[in-house]
Amino acid sequence: MVTHDSRKKTGRYWDEYVETLSDSEIQALQFYRLKQTLERVSSCGFYQKRFKEMGLDISALECLEDLSRFPFTTKQDLRDAYPYGFLCEPKERLVRLHVSSGTTGQATAMFYTQKDLESWADLMARCMHMTGARPGDTFQNMMGYGLFTGGLGFHYGAERLGLLTIPAGAGNSKRQVQLMRDFSTTVIHIIPSYALHLMDVMAEMGVDPKRDLELRIAYTGAEPYSEEIRQRIQDFYGVKTYNSYGLSEMNGPGVAFECPEQTGLHIWEDSYLVELIDPDTLEPVREGTVGELVLTSLRREAMPLIRYRTKDLTRIVRGHCPCGRKHRRLDRIQGRSDDMFIIKGVNIFPIQVEQVLMNIPEVGNNYLIVLQRENNVDQMTVRVEVTDRTFIEDMRHLQRIQKKITHELKGELLVTPRVELVEPSSLPRTEGKAVRLVDERKL
């Protein structure tokens, strides 16, 4: 008899049965797991109270659409119930704690049972296997280990898949390059803004990855980044770069991941239920239009969340993927609804600025948007690092380059920013998620 487990680790699928479920099979599985999850959460303080106030009866759930009667969960709810208000398991069954990065305020705490860690590692192995990583590969994980989910999440997935795993952690750039050389690293996991920084370090060290290293696959995620940055990373390192999406509230990474077709990120619908809503009306958006991603975890034991509002803006890519997986695809995340800023009445996302900048060859690998109020008028300044070459060879032309950048930004954004060109590697860097925007109007 072919058991479920023996089908794993073969051919192009890590878990062929789950990855190739049909639409109706996925929905049936989701309905079964949704009921289980709702029963589970009705024992936790937060949901028990909410469901009671709203007069919700879980046994009346007849189809997946009925979930729309249930309340949303927000990051603020998690903060209010910090630390244990969402727990569905006694403390003796918990084996791990992670904390979100705290990008938008007080961080939230997540708990995991042994089974949660196993299903998370399995999802991560599925993601990496999908991109062609295999035993024999050396995987260098350049994400912060510790409370952040990006480090340990990938770590256990990579070991489960059978990759030789180097827990390099974040930062310490020269050592990262040394490790890549000494152990012939083939697969890396790296924050996109750090991948850009590491390019400058390698250039300084005289290392050309295409000539001197054996890299072939990169996983990049944890922060929004444009297609233009993906191109820069691919071109410089000579790798195929896969977008990786996740959030602590849903385990961490491994929620949605690109396949080799790179036409969107497959969201693992056996584990997560997807909705996309209009953040103002809270109504579902038409399939194919951009909305806020709302997720319900279907397999978590310790701390499942119902209709969690991620604030991340994306859309569903229509149609089925040629790779054979029916799990729907998310488009590249544009950013969080919180990232949007308004200047002179125009709504702008930092990623729009990035798309323009990264298409200009004289622009280096870092930028910063600063918003100020001068004489009651909003002013937007974009500080742009130029490339080493531009800095050395094109000093006389800096004014022309500045004008060109201003012109192109104005064309895209419809407001005219002030553009300041700065030396390579002169803007502040973080080891974690990049800070792209400083809004001094709020100070």
Chain residues binding ligand ADP by CB under 6 A are 100-103, 148, 221-224, 243-248, 310, 312, 333, 336
Q: Which amino acid is at 382?
A: V
Residues whose CB falls within 8 Å of the CB of residue 167, separated by 6 or more in sequence, listed in order:
141, 145, 151, 155
| Pair of tokens at residue 264 | 């969107």
Q: Please choose which of Zn ion, ligand ADP, none residue 321 contacts, taking the beta carbon within 5 to 8 angstroms, the exact cut-off set by kind.
A: Zn ion
Rounded least distance, CB 352 to ligand ADP, Å: 14
Binding segment for Zn ion (CB under 5 A), chosen from 157-165, 254-262, 295-303, 344-352, is: 254-262
Q: Please choose which of Zn ion, ligand ADP, none residue 190 contacts, taking the beta carbon within 5 to 8 angstroms, the exact cut-off set by kind.
A: none
Q: Which residue of 261, 393, 420, 423 would you call a contact of Zn ion, by CB under 5 A?
A: 261
Question: Is residue 259 involved in binding Zn ion (CB under 5 A)?
Answer: yes
Q: Closest CB to ligand ADP among 209 and 335?
A: 335
Rounded least distance, CB 322 to ligand ADP, Å: 22
Rounded least distance, CB 323 to Zn ion, Å: 3
**Rounded Cα–Cα distance for residues 104 and 306 (Å):** 21
Binding segment for Zn ion (CB under 5 A), chosen from 121-129, 255-263, 294-302, 434-442, is: 255-263
| Backbone dihedral region for residue 238 (phi beyond 0: left; psi -120 to 50: alpha; all else: beta) | left
Q: Closest CB to Zn ion among 199 and 330?
A: 330
Residues whose CB falls within 8 Å of the CB of residue 159, separated by 6 or more in sequence, listed in order:
121, 165
Number of residues binding to Zn ion, judged by CB under 5 A = 5
CA end-to-end span of the chain: 66
Rounded least distance, CB 325 to Zn ion, Å: 5
**Rounded Cα–Cα distance for residues 432 and 202 (Å):** 19
Site for Zn ion in 293-332 (CB under 5 A): 321, 323, 325
Q: Please choose which of ligand ADP, Zn ion, none residue 334 contacts, taking the beta carbon within 5 to 8 angstroms, the exact cut-off set by kind.
A: none
Q: Closest CB to ligand ADP among 34 and 222?
A: 222
Cis, peptide link before residue 83, omega less than 30° from 0: yes
DSSP H or E run through 422: strand 418-422
Q: Closest CB to ligand ADP among 106 and 289?
A: 106
The number of beta carbons lying within 10 Å of the beta carbon of residue 40 is 17
Q: Please choose which of Zn ion, ligand ADP, none residue 100 contacts, taking the beta carbon within 5 to 8 angstroms, the exact cut-off set by kind.
A: ligand ADP
Q: Please choose which of ligand ADP, Zn ion, none residue 304 contacts, taking the beta carbon within 5 to 8 angstroms, the exact cut-off set by kind.
A: none
Nearest to 382 by CA among 398, 361, 363: 363
**Rounded Cα–Cα distance for residues 104 and 433 (Å):** 12
DSSP letter assigned to residue 89: S
Residue recorded with tokens 């790779």? 323
**Rounded Cα–Cα distance for residues 177 and 236 (Å):** 14
Rounded least distance, CB 12 to Zn ion, Å: 10
Rounded least distance, CB 45 to Zn ion, Å: 40
DSSP letter assigned to residue 142: -
Q: Closest CB to Zn ion among 265 and 343?
A: 265
- Number of alpha carbons in the 13 Å side-chain half-sphere of residue 211: 5
DSSP letter assigned to residue 312: E
**Rounded Cα–Cα distance for residues 443 and 439 (Å):** 8
Q: Please choose which of ligand ADP, Zn ion, none residue 296 contacts, taking the beta carbon within 5 to 8 angstroms, the exact cut-off set by kind.
A: none
Q: Please choose which of ligand ADP, Zn ion, none residue 116 contacts, taking the beta carbon within 5 to 8 angstroms, the exact cut-off set by kind.
A: none
Rounded least distance, CB 130 to Zn ion, Å: 8
Question: Is residue 267 involved in binding Zn ion (CB under 5 A)?
Answer: no
| Contact (CB, 8 A) for 163 and 141 | no
**Phi first, then psi: what are they for 303, rounded to 5°?**
-155, 65
Q: Please choose which of Zn ion, ligand ADP, none residue 261 contacts, taking the beta carbon within 5 to 8 angstroms, the exact cut-off set by kind.
A: Zn ion
Question: Is residue 434 involved in binding Zn ion (CB under 5 A)?
Answer: no
What is the binding site for Zn ion (CB under 5 A)? Answer: 259, 261, 321, 323, 325
